Structure 1
């Protein structure tokens, strides 16, 4: 991947490998801009994110490798922040970083993408929870707190698909993303999940392109060996739709590189 902005570290408690192993893997794959955006601390779901007291060490470690590898690759610092009203923290929202990814992992505090809680799907109307999910994406975009939308259609992770047209369900969310000038990541982690395709789907990416929404690329790596996987597939998809460049951020300022 020429740009790869969504990657994790062991501080989130569910990733493996040393920070330098991720960078070395990115360099091998020809990545020009590589970002760490580990799961930001929050007073909810602490098992799957770093602690507040780890923020300083996390930021310092990323800045240290940024300097160490400056002649080989551009390293960026970010956080993946859960959009969960009542639980987001100013220390994260106002951190001195290159970018913030806004993600939705919870519907009414149900961790719908966690295999531990997959049984809850049996108790839900699939069309209703898809709409709730995209309503949360819309609300997240309208805050204008974040630079990048994380895995736009994560709700499809276990391949429980709605009966309604997905582009209609997501329409207002996409409009809010455009209005907020957020960037949409093409996240390859979906290839590693039951749905077996990127986030977002090609049909949603086509709608984003029609609206003039910019894109970036993300491995969402939780292991060094996941860095840069499925690169060819997602770039081919993006180009087939019409995209010719991808975005990245330095000090919250959007920049571009050609695909």
Structure 2
């Protein structure tokens, strides 16, 4: 991967390793543009994110390593922001960063990707769950608050798959992403999860390509050793689908990079 824009630090309380260890691993993997996108603070689910009081120190830490490593790699600064109505905060939305990733981890405050709450899938219609998830993605895109869509089909994490056609379920969300000029990250974390697929899947990436939606890449690393995993497989898939460019962001502006 030439670019890897979605990675975490131990500040989020569920990652490990030092910031420089992530960067050294990225350099080893020949990544040219490496981004940190910490779980942004909000007054909900504080266990799995930084606090508002930590924002300044997080941003300063990334800017310091950006300068330190500037001769070897370009470091980019972002946040992964949960799209959850009533909880998003202007301090995050207006932060001076390179990009904001918009992610959906909650359906009506249910943390569907958290193993602690996996039993909540029982006694629910899985097609309805998928539709609610993609409705939230659509709403997130229409807000035009974010640059990148985080792990587009995260709802598949535990292999609870719908009976209906996924491309149809995601159709309106994809249109909204296109209309908002957002990018879709190819997030390899799904290959480490029960579903054992990238987010989004090969089939959904076909739809992304049809709509000419731009892509970027994400290890979504929570440990330094996860940086750059599955790069070869991911690049092979992307080229098979006909993508020739990816994007990075500087100061919230999209820039195209040849693969």
TM-score (norm 1): 0.99
Secondary structure of 2:172 counterpart = helix
- The separation in 2 between residues aligned to 1:138 and 1:20, in whole angstroms, is 36
Corresponding residue number in structure 1 for 2:218: 218
Corresponding residue number in structure 2 for 1:23: 23
- The separation in 2 between residues aligned to 1:211 and 1:187, in whole angstroms, is 19
Corresponding residue number in structure 2 for 1:96: 96
- The separation in 2 between residues aligned to 1:256 and 1:9, in whole angstroms, is 26
Corresponding residue number in structure 2 for 1:76: 76
- The separation in 2 between residues aligned to 1:208 and 1:29, in whole angstroms, is 26
Deviation at 1:258, TM superposition (A): 1.4
Q: Which runs of 5+ in 1 are unaligned?
A: none
Corresponding residue number in structure 2 for 1:165: 165
RMSD (Å) for aligned C-alpha atoms: 0.4
- The separation in 1 between residues aligned to 2:123 and 2:251, in whole angstroms, is 43
Deviation at 1:154, TM superposition (A): 0.1
Matching of residues 1-259 of structure 1 within 5 Å: 1-259=1-259
Deviation at 1:123, TM superposition (A): 2.4
- The separation in 2 between residues aligned to 1:188 and 1:131, in whole angstroms, is 23
- The separation in 2 between residues aligned to 1:237 and 1:125, in whole angstroms, is 32
Deviation at 1:155, TM superposition (A): 0.1
Runs of 4+ in 1 over 6 A off after TM superposition: none
Secondary structure of 2:58 counterpart = helix
- The separation in 2 between residues aligned to 1:44 and 1:117, in whole angstroms, is 16
Q: Could you report, residue by residue, the CA deviation over 1:189-245 in whole angstroms, capped at 9, with x for unpaired residues?
A: 000000001000011000010001000000000000000000111111111111011
Work out the number of aligned pairs and report it: 259
- The separation in 2 between residues aligned to 1:235 and 1:83, in whole angstroms, is 29
Q: Could you report, residue by residue, the CA deviation over 1:71-118 in whole angstroms, capped at 9, with x for unpaired residues?
A: 000000000000000000000000000000000000010000000000
- The separation in 2 between residues aligned to 1:77 and 1:201, in whole angstroms, is 26
Secondary structure of 2:110 counterpart = coil
- The separation in 1 between residues aligned to 2:98 and 2:39, in whole angstroms, is 15
